[in-house]
C-alpha cells in the first residue's frame, strides 16, 4: 500500500508540475503581447500621467482596458507621438 501511495504521489506531482509550467503568469502576459502600463507609456512619451489621461480622453492615444487595468501598445504610443508632432 505504501508503494502505491508513493507512486500516486509522484505521478500527481509530475502532472501538477507540467500544468504549472504551461500556465502563463499574470505578470508575464502583458509583456508578451507588447502592452505597456500607464506609467511605462507616460515615461516613453515623456509626459505625466495626467497628460496621458487627457490624451486618452481626447483620442490622441488609444487605451486598452484589461480587467480593471489600462494598457497601451507600442504602436499606440508611436501613433500618438506622430499625432502630437503634427
Which pLDDT tens digit goes with each residue over 20-38? 787 766 555 555 558 899 9
Q: Is 45 exposed, middle or buried (0-12, 13-18, 19+ CB in 10 A)?
A: buried
CA–CA separation, 50 vs 77, rounded Å? 16
CA–CA separation, 13 vs 19, rounded Å? 10
pLDDT of residue 41: 94
Distance of CA 56 to the CA centre of its chain: 18
Residue-number span of the structural domain to which 34 is assigned:
2-85
CATH code of the domain in which 67 resides: 1.10.1660
Query: What domain count does the chain have?
Result: 1
- Pick 42 or 84 by higher pLDDT: 42
Q: Of 45-54, 56-65, 74-83, where does mean pLDDT reach its minimum?
A: 74-83
pLDDT of residue 13: 92
Amino acid at each position: 500500500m505504501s508503494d502505491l501511495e508513493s507512486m500516486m504521489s509522484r505521478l500527481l506531482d509530475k502532472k501538477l508540475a507540467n500544468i504549472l509550467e504551461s500556465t502563463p503568469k499574470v505578470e508575464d502576459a502583458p509583456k508578451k503581447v507588447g502592452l505597456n502600463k500607464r506609467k511605462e507609456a507616460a515615461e516613453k512619451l515623456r509626459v505625466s500621467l495626467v497628460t496621458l489621461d487627457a490624451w486618452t480622453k481626447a483620442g490622441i492615444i488609444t487605451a486598452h482596458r484589461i480587467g480593471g487595468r489600462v494598457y497601451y501598445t507600442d504602436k499606440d504610443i508611436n501613433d500618438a507621438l506622430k499625432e502630437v508632432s503634427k
